[in-house]
Amino acid sequence: MAEPDVQSLSIKDIPPPPEGTIFIDDTTGTDSTDVGTSTNSPLKTPAFALYAYPDATAYYVRRTVDSPYEPISASMLKKAKKGVDSIGKKIKAAEEAKIKKEADDARKLAEAKAIVLTEDTSLPAPKKIKIRDSKENRETRVVINGWVHRLRLQKGLAFLVLRDGTGYIQCVLSGDLANAYSTLTLTLESSVKVYGVIHSLPEGKSAPGNHELTIDYYEIVGLAPGGENAITNKVQETAEPSLLLDMRHLALRGETMAGIFKVRAALLRSFRRVYDELGLTEVTPPCMVQTQVEGGSTLFSLSYYGENAYLTQSSQLYLETCLPALGDVFCVQESFRAETSHTRRHLSEYTHVEAELAFITFEDLLHHIETILTKTIDYLLEDPDIAEIVKKLNPHFVPPKLPFRRMTYESALTWLNEHDIPNEEGEKFKFGDDIAEAAERKMTDTINEPILLTRFPVEIKSFYMQKCADDDRVTESVDVLMPNVGEITGGSMRIYELSELMKGFAREKIDPAPYYWFNDQRIYGTCPHGGYGLGTERIMAWLLDRYTVRDCSLYPRFTGRCKP
Ligand code: 4AD
């Protein structure tokens, strides 16, 4: 039968491709010997088709994804035949190069394996140091233990950045040290012990600390996996947040994460320093309790040897009992909230810095809170290493200055209404409305400076809050609001008359019996007192400009996450 005249065929007339046809599509195809035999995975070029499938029954080409496959034209076939030879040559050359490279690599590895690294005993005994002490120990032989943070192999040289938790140092290996098998197969995150001398860097070169350790000997303590299980495959910056949280134990090793937790430690250190200067005594109240502080809806219950118990929401009530014994007190303790708000600033467990002060007025409390916050930040920034991390993570951070702007709840409502920011029902704010997170954030971000928001209505605050003497609709309460996170601190004066406190319990429908120890505070030498709680992770989010408080908790707990 005569061949159909392809040029004159309409789409309907195109003959069906016979068995053994090879398909080609210049736009979506790839030139590989794995494809070509099906319409869904075409080859890219006719020349490659002829090279890879010289005995094909037919070659069909399509011009676009939407057009049909048609038999190859005579002119295209002629052109393709010319290209076959050069493809063959290229493939052959590539195969030869690959074989040569494999042989070279095998030879190099064999040579590398033959290199035995030994410590030169004629060198001075090394001094064991931490990386942070590198500068003082330049030009002395040292030994440093750490983890391989970065690694670069170059012809005859190897550079590694070592990390030990106190800093980072660049190390260089040359000669046999660079060519040894253990160096060629070294992996990121391996733990190593390096020996050598730290030299300052010449002008124009840069590395952490402006120096470099010239290694004269090293030992691998624990070789980390490479290939598929390499750390870079386990923790990728662009991975889903929940995958990164599953791998939190490895993600912590990154510079940003490690920096956050160095700053967090410095923050807690600074708080303690300020409290110490102001004469507050640190106490550690229990986490397992049988009373609520901030409302029953966020209590985590547990069975305590068969009795009902909870994880503490706040240590406040316990701090109050310490006043007559120890004077002003503070604690750094975990608080737990079975939060219904799944927001970027709510955790189920957070580190609560709380303080309680005796014989103070509401104004004393406000002044104390703004002082604590400003001094703590000033002390934190006194440490140049910490200041550097803050600058890197939040270049625009401005330390707060005294006094903070004061704003009453009622004036905040006026401000919100004037700025057309509605309440949760989408209406104008009215007295008694809660200022929810979104509205609070908009106001704080617009005002863009710390705010002491005071005098909240009785009904939206806890049972223990003292009412204002000049208006019994509102309480001597305060929230500190910071740009970018909103509320970082909540505090108040406490009711110190027993009969008033009983009214508070009744209003909130709480049985006062389990609170006998707290109530005794009002019986055995009561006094005006007040205190507050600071959310560590929220302060961190503000200080380091983190999108969520989750970044500022070592192993964050929130709805659906209690691991690792
Ligand atoms: O305003 P809160 O609930 O106040 C109290 O617990 C008082 N009893 C404290 C006291 O007066 N001793 O919480 C205080 C602070 C908040 O301002 C916020 O910074 C933080 O604790 N906080 C949370 N942080 C993270 N996740 C949560 N779910 C938080 N709930 C409160």
Residue (of 474, 471, 478, 472) closest to 460 by Cα position: 474
- CATH class name, domain 127-229: mainly beta
Predicted pLDDT of residue 8: 53
| The CATH number of the domain covering residues in 11-111 | 3.30.1910.20
| Closest ligand 1 atom to Cα of 298 | 28
Q: Is the pLDDT of residue 528 over 60?
A: yes
Mean pLDDT value of segment 468-485: 96
Question: Hey, CA dihedral for 294, 482, 400, 556, is it positive or negative?
Answer: positive
The CB of 293 under 6 Å from ligand 1? The reply is yes
Predicted pLDDT of residue 6: 47
User: 10 Å Cβ neighbour count for 18?
Assistant: 11
Q: How far apart are CA 87 and CA 307, in angstroms?
A: 81
Structure confidence at residue 488 as a pLDDT band (50, 70, 90): very high
Mean pLDDT value of segment 483-489: 94
Q: How far apart are CA 437 and CA 442, in angstroms?
A: 9
Structure confidence at residue 65 as a pLDDT band (50, 70, 90): confident
Q: Is the pLDDT of residue 16 over 90?
A: no
Q: Is the pLDDT of residue 33 over 70?
A: yes
Residue (of 154, 149, 170, 390) closest to 260 by Cα position: 390
Residue (of 348, 383, 359, 366) closest to 561 by Cα position: 348
Place of tokens 């806890």: 462
Q: Using H for helix, E for strand and C for coil, what is the string for 383-407?
A: CHHHHHHHHHHCCCCCCCCCCCEEE
| Closest ligand 1 atom to Cα of 319 | 12
Mean pLDDT value of segment 4-25: 75
Report how far ligand 1's centroid is from the alpha carbon of 331 (Å): 13
- Ligand 1 pocket test target in 316, 341, 348, 352 with most atoms within 8 Å of CB: 352
The CB of 490 under 6 Å from ligand 1? The reply is yes
Q: What is the DSSP letter of 124?
A: P
| 254 vs 341, higher pLDDT | 254
The CB of 541 under 6 Å from ligand 1? The reply is no
The CB of 487 under 6 Å from ligand 1? The reply is yes
Predicted pLDDT of residue 11: 58
Structure confidence at residue 341 as a pLDDT band (50, 70, 90): confident
Predicted pLDDT of residue 155: 85
The CB of 373 under 6 Å from ligand 1? The reply is no
The 10s digit of each residue's pLDDT in 122-156 is 999 999 999 999 999 999 999 999 999 999 999 88
The CB of 339 under 6 Å from ligand 1? The reply is yes
Packed helices 536-544 and 255-277: angle between N→C axes, nearest 10 degrees = 120
Predicted pLDDT of residue 4: 47
In the chain, residues under CATH classification 2.40.50.140 are 127-229
- Ligand 1 pocket test target in 348, 360, 487 with most atoms within 8 Å of CB: 487
The 10s digit of each residue's pLDDT in 95-121 is 999 999 999 888 888 989 999 999 999
Instruction: Express as a percent the part of the chain with pLDDT over 90.
Output: 87
- Ligand 1 pocket test target in 314, 315, 332, 492 with most atoms within 8 Å of CB: 314
Q: Is the CB of residue 327 less than 8 Å from the CB of residue 531?
A: no
In the chain, residues under CATH classification 3.30.930.10 are 255-552
Mean pLDDT value of segment 207-227: 96
Instruction: Express as a percent the part of the chain with pLDDT over 70.
Output: 98
- Burial of residue 505 (number of CB atoms within 10 Å: 0-12, 13-18, 19+): middle
Q: How far apart are CA 444 and CA 458, in angstroms?
A: 23
Report how far ligand 1's centroid is from the alpha carbon of 346 (Å): 10
Report how far ligand 1's centroid is from the alpha carbon of 560 (Å): 21
The fourth-level CATH superfamily of domain 255-552 is: Bira Bifunctional Protein; Domain 2 (3.30.930.10)
In the chain, residues under CATH classification 3.30.1910.20 are 11-111
The 10s digit of each residue's pLDDT in 390-420 is 999 999 999 999 999 999 999 999 999 999 9
Average pLDDT of the chain, as a whole number? 94
Report how far ligand 1's centroid is from the alpha carbon of 489 (Å): 6
Report how far ligand 1's centroid is from the alpha carbon of 481 (Å): 12
Mean pLDDT value of segment 343-370: 97
Packed helices 384-393 and 536-544: angle between N→C axes, nearest 10 degrees = 70
